[in-house]
């Protein structure tokens, strides 16, 4: 293998640039020709591909987002789109790919490999920490710390006015951001997709907490089955109609995706990037390079996509115990 290309796809996450840097420089270290593909699969279809040098990735390890840009490609979902992408890669003589992204990225890479056989190794780039085959995903630690900074500030104003705040964090299918923010931010309740929490349970808990606390914070993952933070707040308020207690909602939104990556995400991105390139050179393909128990492991795209990553049960117990 002489030529490898790297691209980012799907939602951006802090630490992607550290991963890109690691992929490019690991490849150059092994005397490979390294290429980048702009705008993910869309750029692959258009042939938006350029050769990378070591200096091409200088001064990016500390930056959030992705210098290679990202896009969700509808064309790549079609056979015709994937055929065009393959033809573009052939023009440049690219023999291997490093795909940085999440479920959607790996699903596309798996289908592409099955059709055209270009070896691909993925790196888990998503803030949700919902990828099977790695303890943590690139960007998750930064997202939690960004959210915690906001939660700490909201806690101050909640306490000053004796308010109940419902704070919505990202996590459409995974409650990892929610539960870690709940524990780290001292939240009174956490609502995540993995567990069922009824409105009655929320009301009962908040009324019980009022005996010892004048303000409360409820963390809501955006994918909770009871609804988003605004919907849940409105349902809860109906049970406090004769109460002067104030209810407020804050949706943190995409602020969680931005910002400089933490040391942990820079290191994780760098390790996964190196492992992806060296995995390709060792014959790995159609898989993701992740880190479990501080060891680099390779997990098939099939497992990454199909197997669920359960929320740690001790986190749920810890949250319940610490909220009393």
In the sheet with 246-251, reading across from the earlier edge strand, the strands are 189-191, 216-221, 163-169, 246-251
**Nearest one of 159, 161, 143 to 254, comparing CA atoms:** 143
**Nearest one of 54, 66, 51 to 123, comparing CA atoms:** 66
Give the integer Cα–Cα distance in Å for 52 and 257.
26
Q: Are 164 and 198 in contact (CB under 8 A)?
A: no
Q: Please tell me what DSSP assigns to residue 193.
A: T
- 123 DSSP β-pair partners: 100
Specify the 3-state DSSP secondary structure of 24: helix
Indicate which residue of 12, 42, 103, 128 is catalytic. 128
DSSP H helices, 127-262, are 140-161, 176-184, 199-209, 229-237
Q: Confirm whether 48 is a catalytic residue.
A: no
Q: Which residues are catalytic?
A: 128
């Amino acid at each position: 293998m002489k030529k490898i290309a790297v691209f980012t796809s799907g939602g951006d996450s802090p630490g992607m640039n550290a991963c890109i840097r690691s992929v490019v420089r690991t490849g150059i270290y092994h005397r490979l020709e390294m290429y980048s593909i702009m705008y993910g699969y869309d750029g692959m279809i258009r042939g938006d591909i350029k050769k990378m040098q070591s200096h091409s990735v200088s001064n990016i390890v500390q930056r959030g987002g992705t210098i290679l840009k990202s896009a969700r490609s509808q064309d790549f979902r079609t056979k015709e789109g994937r055929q065009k992408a393959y033809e573009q890669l052939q023009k440049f003589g690219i023999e291997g790919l490093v795909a940085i992204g999440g479920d959607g990225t790996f699903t596309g890479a798996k289908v592409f490999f099955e059709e055209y056989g270009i070896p691909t190794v993925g790196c888990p780039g998503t803030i949700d920490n919902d990828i099977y085959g790695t303890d943590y995903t690139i960007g998750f630690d930064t997202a939690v710390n960004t959210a915690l900074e906001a939660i700490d500030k909201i806690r101050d104003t909640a306490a000053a006015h004796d308010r109940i705040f419902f704070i919505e964090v990202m996590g459409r299918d995974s409650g990892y951001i929610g539960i870690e923010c709940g524990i780290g931010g001292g939240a009174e309740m956490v609502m995540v997709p993995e567990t069922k929490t009824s409105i009655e349970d929320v009301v009962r808990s908040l009324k019980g907490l009022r005996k010892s606390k004048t303000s409360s914070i409820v963390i809501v993952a955006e994918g909770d089955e009871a609804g988003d933070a605004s919907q849940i707040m409105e349902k809860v308020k109906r049970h406090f109609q004769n109460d002067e207690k104030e209810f407020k909602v804050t949706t943190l939104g995409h602020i969680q995706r931005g910002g400089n990556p933490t040391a942990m995400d820079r290191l994780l991105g760098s390790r996964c990037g190196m492992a992806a390139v060296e995995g390709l050179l060792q014959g790995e393909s159609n898989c993701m390079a992740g880190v479990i128990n501080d060891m680099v492991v390779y997990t098939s795209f099939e497992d990454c996509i199909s197997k669920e990553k359960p929320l740690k049960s001790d986190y749920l117990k810890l949250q319940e115990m610490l909220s009393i």
